[in-house]
Amino acid sequence: MSKTYKTKLASIPKENFLFGPSPVQYLPNLTTALGGQVKVYAKREDCNSGLAYGGNKVRKLEYLVADAKLKGCDTLVSVGGVQSNHTRAVTATAVASGMTAVTVQEKWVPIDPPLYAETGNILLSRIMGGDVRLNQEDFDIGHKAATEQAFKDVEARGGKPYYIPAGASDHELGGLGFTNLVVELAEQEAAQGIYFDTLVVCSVTGSSHAGLIVGAVAEGKGRKVIGIDASGKVEATRTQVTRIARNTAKLLDPELVIKDEDVILDDRFNAGIYGIPDEQTIKAIEMAARTDSMITDPVYEGKSMAGMIELIKEGTIKPGSNVLYIHLGGQPALNAYSSYFPHN
């Protein structure tokens, strides 16, 4: 990595919400089940923090919450679906920082199973004292009018709000958490004597994917980052990933160039819609759980797991590779999806 890049990244203020580097775990049974020719590991972002089950959003929010505090803000305002992992993480990091949170929870998923708006992530936000506001707006990764109104409401009562876009993504600092993950990973690789030639990550609002791209391009080792779309709106996600990656690169090193071909987004595993699993997703969740007891969710990680499984089976990830599945978290949502897992 360039000296400019590393120096700039290290100079940007961030909070310390994580336990430390998230674990890298070998998955021997999944490796064997997929033929044994590709060694499968997971970077366990789902185990990264003690704040309300952690996850990838907590890593991103280390930078955004630090910025909010520097600006004297007292309230984090953000948006997500009813079962948003992101809004749960926003509430958790706000509480841990002595702030409050207002989260707009929209109807991003056109389903209404039992207790969908009462359990899982939204329950955790309510337990933590978050100001949770439900509305009927549908899925969109862009900026939302209801969040703007929530921002104004905080101002009207004399508070100082800080706006965080969906997924902590389309924000100047949104890509930094996962760019820093690549720095962290390189240190873990050196300590363990391994190199991961391929990273597989779920992509929806885009900054986890984008940050990994920036880190991989900056280090210059030829590491491939494969995004698995779970949005069902592939071109919107591709556009946002590319924009975030280029903005993050420019922030860290003006000479760092992100090419179109650096943004790999596989659209075969999204089930055609955000938030609803198909049979392929369910089978992938069960396979990960029944091999190495690794739990994935129906919205994000089940779809990226399905993608990684197929990429190995079809040979896109070649024999002899070490693949690292970036587990972003999200398991609390499973409680709202029990009807998708029937039992005798």
Does the pLDDT at position 154 exceed 50? yes
Mean pLDDT of 35-56: 98
My answer on whether 298 and 320 are in the same domain is: yes
My answer on whether 128 and 274 are in the same domain is: no
In the structure, what pLDDT confidence band is assigned to residue 1 with cuts at 50, 70 and 90? very low
My answer on whether 97 and 212 are in the same domain is: no
My answer on whether 177 and 288 are in the same domain is: yes
Q: How many domains does the chain have?
A: 2
My answer on whether 115 and 220 are in the same domain is: no
Mean pLDDT of 155-169: 97
My answer on whether 196 and 48 are in the same domain is: yes
Q: What is the dihedral of CA 264, 270, 275, 276, to 10 degrees?
A: -170
Q: Is 286 helix (H, G, I), strand (E, B) or coil?
A: helix
My answer on whether 181 and 224 are in the same domain is: yes
Q: In terms of residue numbers, what domain contains 181?
A: 3-53+172-340
My answer on whether 257 and 318 are in the same domain is: yes
What pLDDT is attached to residue 303? 98
C-alpha dist (Å) from residue 303 to 124, 200, 238, 245, 280: 24, 11, 17, 22, 8
Q: Of 168, 191, 225, which closes a domain?
A: 168
Mean pLDDT of 186-215: 98
Query: Do residues 291 and 325 lie in contact, with contact meaning Cβ atoms separated by under 8 Å?
Result: no
Q: Which residues are catalytic?
A: 84
Q: Of 150, 168, 186, which closes a domain?
A: 168
Count of alpha carbons within 13 angstroms of residue 257, beta-carbon side: 3
My answer on whether 43 and 85 are in the same domain is: no
Q: Of 168, 186, 206, which closes a domain?
A: 168
Average pLDDT, the chain: 96
H or E stretch covering 57: helix 56-70
What pLDDT is attached to residue 200? 99
Does the pLDDT at position 290 exceed 70? yes
Does the pLDDT at position 344 exceed 70? no
My answer on whether 204 and 79 are in the same domain is: no
Residue type at position 132: V
Mean pLDDT of 47-65: 98
In the structure, what pLDDT confidence band is assigned to residue 142 with cuts at 50, 70 and 90? confident
Does the pLDDT at position 38 exceed 90? yes
Question: Cα–Cα distance between 147 and 150 in angstroms, integer?
Answer: 5
Q: How far is CA 284 from the centre of its chain?
A: 18
In the structure, what pLDDT confidence band is assigned to residue 2 with cuts at 50, 70 and 90? low
What pLDDT is attached to residue 328? 98
Does the pLDDT at position 317 exceed 60? yes
Give the phi and the psi of residue 77 in degrees, each rounded to 5.
Answer: -120, 125
Mean pLDDT of 184-203: 98
Q: What is the dihedral of CA 173, 174, 177, 180, to 10 degrees?
A: -60
CATH number at residue 177: 3.40.50.1100
